[in-house]
Homo-oligomer: A and B are copies of this chain.
């Protein structure tokens, strides 16, 4: 992707999806890492947590939290999500993005 003329910087999009996510704890976690923003949306879903879909009775409401952070902060946040995942059906992944810069 050419970046000629458009000020972009490399950042990391983190997506956290869960059916029984402790939303308040996740938001508190993001705030403690001083992220500048996040969005929360809902989706129907099945699965996760190592089970196969065939094992699961029906649809659930999942929440999906997304935030764009620096590469360094993404490491901190994923590690903290991993620590709070215990007992919750929770998945998280990250991707590099080119973020339109403020400058």
Using CB atoms and an 8 Å cutoff, list the residues of chain A in contact with chain B.
1-8, 11-13, 15, 17, 30-31, 34-54, 62, 64, 66, 68, 71-72, 74-75, 78-79, 81-82, 85, 91-100, 102
A36 touches B12 (CB 8 A): no
Interface centre among A5, A6, A45, A50 (most CB of B within 10 A): A6
Q: How far is the CB of A67 from chain B (nearest CB, A)?
A: 8
Complexed CA–CA distance, A71 and B6 (Å) = 13
Complexed CA–CA distance, A82 and B46 (Å) = 23
A38 touches B46 (CB 8 A): yes
Complexed CA–CA distance, A81 and B66 (Å) = 21
Complexed CA–CA distance, A35 and B53 (Å) = 7
B43 touches A39 (CB 8 A): yes
Q: Would you mind naming 9 contact pairs between A and B with Cβ atoms under 8 Å apart? A: A3-B75, A11-B93, A15-B97, A17-B39, A37-B91, A39-B64, A68-B91, A93-B97, A95-B95
